[in-house]
Amino acid sequence: MLSVQLGSALSVGLMATVGPAGTAWLRLSLGALVFLVLARPPLRDVRRSDVPALLGLGVTTGLVTVGFLAAIERIPLGTAVAIEFLGPLTVAAVRAHSARALTPPALALVGVVLLTEPWHGEIDPAGVGFAGLAAIGWAVYILLTQRIGDRFTGLGALSLTVPVAAATAAVIGIPQASGRITLGVLAAAAGLALLLPVLPFALELLALRRMTPTAFGTLMALEPAFGVLLGLLVLHQRPSSVQITGILLVVLAGAAAQRGGRRPRTPGPASGHTALDPVGQRRRWTPTPTTTWSASSAPAPSTPRRR
Q: Render each residue's pLDDT in the chain as its tens digit; 307 residues.
A: 999 999 999 999 999 999 999 999 999 999 999 999 988 899 999 999 999 999 999 999 999 999 999 999 999 999 999 899 888 878 777 776 777 777 888 888 898 888 877 777 778 999 999 999 999 999 999 889 888 988 888 788 899 999 999 999 999 999 999 999 999 999 999 999 999 999 998 898 888 888 876 677 667 778 888 999 999 999 999 998 998 999 898 888 877 765 544 555 544 333 333 333 333 333 333 343 443 343 333 333 333 334 4
Q: By the 8 A CB rule, do 62 and 167 touch?
A: yes
Separation in Å, CA 91 to CA 63, 218, 285? 19, 9, 30
Q: By the 8 A CB rule, do 194 and 34 touch?
A: yes
For residue 17, with 0-12 CB atoms within 10 Å meaning exposed, 13-18 middle and 19 or more buried, which class applies?
middle
Question: What is the reported pLDDT for 257?
Answer: 66
Rama region for 291: left / alpha / beta (φ>0; ψ in -120 to 50; rest): beta
For residue 43, the one-letter residue type is L
Separation in Å, CA 133 to CA 22, 63, 81, 136, 299? 18, 9, 12, 5, 39
Q: By the 8 A CB rule, do 200 and 155 touch?
A: no
Question: What is the reported pLDDT for 276?
Answer: 36
Q: By the 8 A CB rule, do 22 and 173 touch?
A: yes
Question: What is the reported pLDDT for 47?
Answer: 93
Helices (H) and strands (E) in the chain, counts: 12, 2
- The DSSP 8-state label assigned to residue 212 in this structure reads -
Q: What is d(CA 110, CA 117) in angstroms, rounded to the nearest whole number?
A: 11
Alpha helices of 117-220 — where are they, by DSSP H?
125-151, 158-177, 183-193, 199-208, 213-219
- The DSSP 8-state label assigned to residue 45 in this structure reads G
What's phi and psi for 272, nearest 5 deg?
90, 5
Q: Where are the domains of the chain?
A: 2-263, 268-302
Q: Summarize the chain as % helix, strand, coil (round to 5).
A: 70, 5, 25
Question: What is the reported pLDDT for 87?
Answer: 87
For residue 235, the one-letter residue type is L
Query: How would you label 53-63 residue by residue, b for 16+ Cβ within 10 Å and e otherwise?
Result: bbebbbbbbbb
